[in-house]
Structure 1
Amino acid sequence: MHSSRSLLALLLLPLLLLAATTGLAGALSDDEKRVMVELHNLYRAQVSPPAANMLQMRWDEELAAFAKAYAQECVWGHNKERGRRGENLFAITDEGMDVPLAVEEWYLEREHYNLSTATCDPGQMCGHYTQVVWAKTERIGCGAHFCEKLQGVEETNIHLLVCNYEPPGNVKGQKPYQEGHPCSQCPSGYRCENSVCEPIRGPEESQDLPYLVTEAPSSSVTEASDSRKASAEAPKMSSGPNSAPGYIWGPFLGLLLLLPLVLAAVF
């Protein structure tokens, strides 16, 4: 027992030191970026029913810079100037950003989504889930920022996370992916890797592409998230209008999650 706790402490120490050195600006560390992509690819590989055409997702620094710039504006609401980019939002009033919790909360919306009819349960939100598992989305970039005041929210001292996606998901009238045997409908130039379609690249090109992974994220990060989530007992509350029953507003759908106070909003 003590040895396992000591090992966990050693695993968490680098992340704690990194958090202390980055301060309140809330910039994502390289480990957090990697975990963000790992979790997206892991969840994409595990969709049920399985996906025949799920593309592997990779980190995009241009998208990350775009997301970071918007996060620094400290506004609760989607970026109206994001163009053809998908977007997911997450915010937390805890000690700092929790990447595994953010992606998990987005993915848990699957409980309210019906793939066969491409609809969301009335009064629920599904747009974050469908963006996470949108088969044709290949690139993600996220930025985080600590906001002493987040415009549109009464609570103070909030860590805001913005993730942008290309190509964007949540196209009205379309399903996020095509059901079928994993990788059975990968596009030309792709191969199957851990139940997702991975682009075929040369050795030199592969070295320049960060975070091309589908394995489970490192235990040091996910266990830290589990510990923090277990201590949160406050109920969720909604803020703002819900989307129309069964209708996903694509890039105009957003979620704000606050711990210990959790808020949800749709734009």
Structure 2
Amino acid sequence: MLALVALLLVITKPSSETAFGCNLNDVTDEEREQALSYHNDLRSQLALGSLDYYEASWGPAANMYQLTWSCSLEQTVSNAIQGCPSSPSVPEEYGLNVQIWTLTTPSNFLLESLAVWQSQYADSTPTNVVDSKIPDFAQMINAKTLTVACSKQKCSDTLAIAACIYDQPRLKEGDEIFEEGAACSSNADCTTYTPATCNSTSGLCAVEVSTTTPPTGAAATTTPSSGAGATATPPNAHPNPAINQICPANGHMNDRIRTRALDMINYRRSQLANGLVQKFNGNYLPKAGNMVQLKYDCSLENSADTHAKTCSRTNSNAAADIGETIKNADVSTTVTTRVEGMGEAVKVWWRKIKTETVSIGMAVTFKSQHVNAPIRTFTTLAWATTTRIGCGVEKCNGFFFIVCHYQPRGNIVNSVIYQTGEPCTRCPSGAACATPLCVL
């Protein structure tokens, strides 16, 4: 436990007189500084490969980001632990570490709670994926986390609770915690969120919340709603703005859901363009020469999200020029969050090409018999000239209602789903090629 004790000693006193500006009194600014420094010191040691426990070393880690404190998250976690509940909960888009103290409560039980969570690493072989021994430690070093907040409550002489909340969903067993690789030495090494600044001494990347962009890949394939580029950026409606940069005016959704939809569908469109998608009979569909890379559209999200909130389980009365797919995903052990619900929906929509016998032929033409057939969800996602997508997800009573809208819409009877040919050989005029997709 030498490394753990050393870390506790280092941060017992705050490193600076930071004014956090939070209005709650559950923790002091000194305790906020201690908790924040504890996390960042731990992340720095991991990034630099100097987090040791006897003969075992954790790290190094690439793309490890320095955390900042969120007063809005502090309010959320403070509300969650009022009255010292045995199982506090927070919205699904956040991760939560909880430590309950009974009988004897240390004088600084928030700091001691951090040490308890970190101590899990002593019982685990160094790894960059979550295992059952390090659930709370993994939250502390999750490389994609940008903001944190902690709170505490002493409910009696023999009962107290401390908790920290993180702006990423709680990692599950098997999830990647961090990217193995050298710590950053220049700004160019910080690629998960940009723009970012590398502190080569700590090995951590730093990003301002107000300028945070989605992870690389999503940023290049997203766009604001029509006309947004000519107007001022709307105020961010999400309590944690760092995870709501794509469509900041909609606080009901977040970028993790958006990028899950966008990345999964574009990946499948890439597979189709490369001729790697099989039908139910084992035959491969032909390659696509004009498959466009989708971008995210906030106006489409608004219409999709509005319908998702109805929990109706049925299609909406979307405008005639908008395509739509819906999915009712039951809450289960594998679908516990809206992000997972979104991913499950995409899989189900696309999987129809493998399971349905009323399918499209090798001429890839959409015909009248497809209009109401299950294959229509695959063809909606695969329609080459569709360029924009927006989605909404609502957690209803025991299920997630997932809705995605598309423009220009597909599923036009007697029209081809895509033009066959080598990838990018039939792209629209003015398009670039990011093989195998056309980029507008």
* Counterpart Cα distance in 1 of 2:437 and 2:317: 31
Task: Give 1:34's match in structure 2, choosing from 259, 266, 271.
Answer: 259
- Mark the CA change 1:46 to 1:78 in structure 2 (over 3 Å): closer, same or farther: same
Structure 1 residue identity aligned to 2:313: W
Structure 1 residue identity aligned to 2:347: E
- Mark the CA change 1:115 to 1:196 in structure 2 (over 3 Å): closer, same or farther: farther
Instruction: Give the aligned partner of residue 107 of structure 1.
Output: 350
* Counterpart Cα distance in 2 of 1:90 and 1:169: 18
Task: Give 1:53's match in structure 2, choosing from 290, 297, 308.
Answer: 290
Q: Shift of residue 105 of structure 1?
A: 1.4
- Is 1:87 paired with 2:211? no
Instruction: Give the aligned partner of residue 6 of structure 1.
Output: 130
Instruction: Give the aligned partner of residue 251 of structure 1.
Output: none
User: Is the CA contact (8 Å cut-off) linking 2:329 and 2:345 kept in structure 1?
Assistant: no
Structure 1 residue identity aligned to 2:353: R
Structure 2 residue identity aligned to 1:116: M
Of 56-65 and 69-78, the range deviating more from structure 2: 69-78
Instruction: Give the aligned partner of residue 143 of structure 1.
Output: 392
Task: Give 2:428's match in structure 1, choosing from 187, 194, 199.
Answer: 187
Aligned ranges 1:206-217 → 2 under 5 Å: none
- Mark the CA change 1:15 to 1:93 in structure 2 (over 3 Å): closer, same or farther: farther
Structure with the greater alpha carbon radius of gyration: 2
3-state SS of the aligned residue for 2:396? strand
1:127-176 residue CA offsets vs partner (Å, 9 max, x unmatched): 1111111001000000111223xxxxxxxx22101100000011111221
- Mark the CA change 1:43 to 1:81 in structure 2 (over 3 Å): closer, same or farther: closer
TM-score of the pair, normalised by structure 2: 0.38
User: Is the CA contact (8 Å cut-off) linking 2:287 and 2:421 kept in structure 1?
Assistant: yes
Q: Which runs of 5+ in 2 are unaligned?
A: 1-123, 145-165, 172-238, 241-250, 276-285
Task: Give 2:300's match in structure 1, choosing from 63, 70, 76.
Answer: 63
What's the Cα RMSD here? 2.9
Q: Shift of residue 84 of structure 1?
A: 1.4
Identity %: 26
Task: Give 1:172's match in structure 2, choosing from 410, 413, 438.
Answer: 413
Task: Give 2:376's match in structure 1, choosing from 124, 127, 136.
Answer: 127
Q: Shift of residue 6 of structure 1?
A: 3.2
* Counterpart Cα distance in 2 of 1:96 and 1:84: 30
Higher relative contact order (Cα pairs below 8 Å, separated by 6+ residues): 1
* Counterpart Cα distance in 1 of 2:330 and 2:294: 28
How many residues align? The count is 185
3-state SS of the aligned residue for 1:35? helix
User: Is the CA contact (8 Å cut-off) linking 2:318 and 2:324 kept in structure 1?
Assistant: no
Query: Which runs of 4 or more aligned residues in structure 1 lie more than 6 Å from their structure 2 counterparts after TM superposition?
Result: none
Q: Which runs of 5+ in 1 are unaligned?
A: 149-156, 200-267
Instruction: Give the aligned partner of residue 236 of structure 1.
Output: none
3-state SS of the aligned residue for 2:433? strand
